[in-house]
Amino acid sequence: MPTKNKYLKQILLWRYQFISERQFIYVLSVLVGLLAGLGTAVLKNLTFFFENLLEGKFIKDFHHSLYFIFPIIGLIIVFYIKKKVIKKEIGHGISTTLHAVSKKNGIIEKYKMYASLITAPITVGFGGSAGLQGPAVSTGAALGSYVAQLFHMSPKTRMLLIGCATAGAMSSMFKAPVAAIVFAVEIFSLDLAFASLVPLLLASVSAIITSYFFFERDALFGFQLIDTFEIKDVLYYIILGLGTGVASVYFSKIYFRITKFFNHFKKRIHRLIIGGFAIGLMLYLIPPLYGEGYGLINNLLNGNTADALATLPYNVDLTNIWIVIAFLIIIALFKAIAMTTTFAAGGVGGIFIPTLFMGASLGNVFAKIINTLGGNVSESNFTLIGMTGLMAGVLHAPLTAIFLIAEITGGYDLFVPLMLVAAISFAFTKYFIANSIYTTELAKRGELITHNKDKNVMMMMKVDRLIEKNFKTIHPEMLLGDMLKSAVAKSTRNIFPVTNSDKVFLGIVLLDDIRPFMFDTEMYNNVTVETLMKAAPEIIFYDDSVTEIMKKFKTSDAWNLPVVQGDKYIGFISKSKLLTAYRNKLIEVTS
């Protein structure tokens, strides 16, 4: 440890002497991108290892009933790793990262650098119906936060490096560096200015280079656009946009309801038993739900419908288009259920890929219906654009959806329908679901980072640091003379909180109110504090947000307001200290 600190000090001294702050941020953004790319590569390789091991040695050689067993085994392993090794809650990757940015100044616990790296490949590799993008972001963000803390960077730079790590994880996962930058800006509400754009570019490029080093040119989606956009299909795309909007609302509602149901079970072991059995049963009945589902997506994109449904254990005629359509609809609808159940049972994963899975299935279904009824549209194009619609709606990230699908498939000729479907789906979903799955809980607690810098600054301020406690408390039965001697004479403040013996806040006494008779000694033994006190113009509760506190100062026109926790007095917040703290935080965040 002393040697490590010695080298670190030397690096910091060299940095202060020979390199500017901006240049050092560029260096760190490259480092963070490389680390995020490496973390993503480890995630993917471990997952592929488990998938190949199980599918190669067992499922294909024996019976599809093992689809029921493997996810349960994976969830049990993850349960004991969490309980015995990590011993802390992992949480959903992007949601916990957003919380760290909004309420912890970008400080992420060190264990999150490896927690998802261990548990997500086991969850997904053993068949859990989830994705890897959330864990990749969680791992990368924790690495970015650690690097920022290691080199004593400011909170603003720390948050920028977390955004760089997010872009790096996305770039490495999908080999889509432009979409990765858009994702970081859209999800983390980063400023798209020169100061942040260059680090994001460097991180995204360094991460994708890392990905190419490990995976060469292998892509998750092995598809190149062949069919171009035709103006005659515009009406169909409008209908698809509405359809994916409806599906996005369904996906989100199912997620919230299943999560709420499992939250009724206080013990994790009960969630594991019920959720594990449920996910095992779903995968037994609908094997295409197994794992991330890239195989089904790629087969649908390439027109191999029979291969996409090859794992179904039913003796059905897959040449009958309506049977194929029915199964694809069932698979799409149950993907959201299987994914949420995987999380609820204790699995670790992300929602990004399941949205692509569901969108691909529904887009392909829509094209098949049109063609069966006499139309003539490209099934691969509608499969792609269905993915865009679901991503835009469920994730509330329309720009990411447009650029990702265009970039990973070379489908830039489809920009018009991509934008059309993404816009319709996003607008429709936004009307019914105000916030995405990532941000709903944060929005409820008033902890959601947005592009509104004023709200962001107030959200990042810590109420406990604003509370002043150098006020002399007095009690209702205290005589005026005792109050003057023990409180007024010893205080530099002109306001005195009144509490009982249990520290319950009762009211206030202002120095201005007693000044006219405070030197009348005849009143010292005849007047009590209870006679003199009055109600505070407003009361601040300890869990109030800074926005709510600002409103209370505005409506009360007061300069000092008492703070209570429950009904117990804690201290006061002054308007002057609140405004000074706001100004300092604004400078810190926007400088």
The three-class DSSP label of residue 560 is strand
Task: Residue 96: count other Cβ atoms within 10 Å of its Cβ.
Answer: 23
pLDDT tier for residue 448 given thresholds of 50, 70 and 90 = low
Tell me the sheet residues that pair with 369.
none
Residue 232 main-chain phi, psi, to 5 deg: -65, -15
**Angstrom distance (rounded) from CA 44 to CA 133:** 10
> What is each CA distance from 391 to 237, 355, 421, in whole angstroms?
16, 6, 11
Q: Are 125 and 51 in contact (CB under 8 A)?
A: yes
pLDDT tier for residue 411 given thresholds of 50, 70 and 90 = low
Residue 205 main-chain phi, psi, to 5 deg: -70, -45
Burial class (CB in 10 A: 0-12, 13-18, 19+), 265: middle
**Angstrom distance (rounded) from CA 271 to CA 264:** 9
Report CA 364 to chain centroid distance, whole Å.
29
pLDDT tens, position by position, 382-408: 999 999 999 999 999 899 999 988 888
* C-alpha radius of gyration, the chain, whole number: 29
Question: What's the mean per-residue pLDDT of the chain?
Answer: 85
From the list 298, 303, 306, the residue with the least C-alpha distance to 353 is 298
pLDDT tens, position by position, 330-373: 999 999 999 999 999 989 988 989 999 999 999 999 999 999 99
Q: Are 247 and 386 in contact (CB under 8 A)?
A: no
pLDDT tens, position by position, 143-178: 999 998 888 888 888 888 998 999 999 998 888 889
**CATH T-level fold of 2-215:** Clc chloride channel (1.10.3080)
Q: Are 245 and 52 in contact (CB under 8 A)?
A: no
pLDDT tier for residue 561 given thresholds of 50, 70 and 90 = very high
From the list 567, 182, 572, the residue with the least C-alpha distance to 392 is 182
Report CA 8 to chain centroid distance, whole Å.
32
* The domains spanning 2-215 and 457-590 adopt the same CATH topology: no
Instruction: Quote the Cα angle for 567-569-572, to 5°.
Output: 130
From the list 416, 412, 366, 355, the residue with the least C-alpha distance to 388 is 355
**Confidence at residue 12, expressed as pLDDT on a 0 to 100 scale:** 72
Longest alpha-carbon distance in the chain: 104
**Angstrom distance (rounded) from CA 100 to CA 159:** 9
Return the top range by mean pLDDT from 19-23, 87-91, 201-205, 513-517: 201-205
For 457-590, CATH number out of 3.10.580.10, 3.60.20.10, 3.90.1170.50, 3.40.50.300 equals 3.10.580.10
Q: How many helices (H) and strands (E) does the chain have?
A: 25, 5
The pTM score is 0.80
Would you list the domain boundaries of the chain?
2-215, 231-451, 457-590
**Angstrom distance (rounded) from CA 49 to CA 217:** 19
What are the residues whose beta carbons fall under 8 Å from the beta carbon of 250, sequence distance 6 or more?
333, 336
DSSP string computed for 485-540: HHTGGG-S-SEEEEE-TT-BEEEEEEHHHHGGGTT-GGGTTT-BHHHH-B--S--E
Percentage of the chain modeled with pLDDT above 90? 36
The three-class DSSP label of residue 435 is coil
pLDDT tens, position by position, 283-299: 989 989 988 888 888 88
Q: What angle separates helix 155-174 from helix 93-103, to the nearest 10 degrees? A: 160
The three-class DSSP label of residue 23 is helix
**CATH T-level fold of 231-451:** Clc chloride channel (1.10.3080)
pLDDT score of 465 more than 80? yes
What are the residues whose beta carbons fall under 8 Å from the beta carbon of 41, sequence distance 6 or more?
172, 210, 211, 214, 215
Once rounded to an integer, what is the mean pLDDT over residues 459-463?
A: 75
pLDDT tens, position by position, 480-525: 888 888 888 888 888 999 999 889 999 999 988 888 887 888 788 8
**Angstrom distance (rounded) from CA 248 to CA 313:** 28
**Angstrom distance (rounded) from CA 492 to CA 218:** 71
Instruction: Quote the Cα angle for 361-365-371, to 5°.
Output: 145
Pairing of β 540-541 and β 560-565: parallel
Q: What angle separates helix 21-54 from helix 194-215, to the nearest 10 degrees? A: 30
Q: Report H helices in 216-351.
A: 234-263, 268-285, 294-301, 305-308, 321-344
pLDDT tens, position by position, 131-141: 888 899 999 99
Q: What angle separates helix 398-409 from helix 177-188, to the nearest 10 degrees? A: 170
Tell me the sheet residues that pair with 541.
564
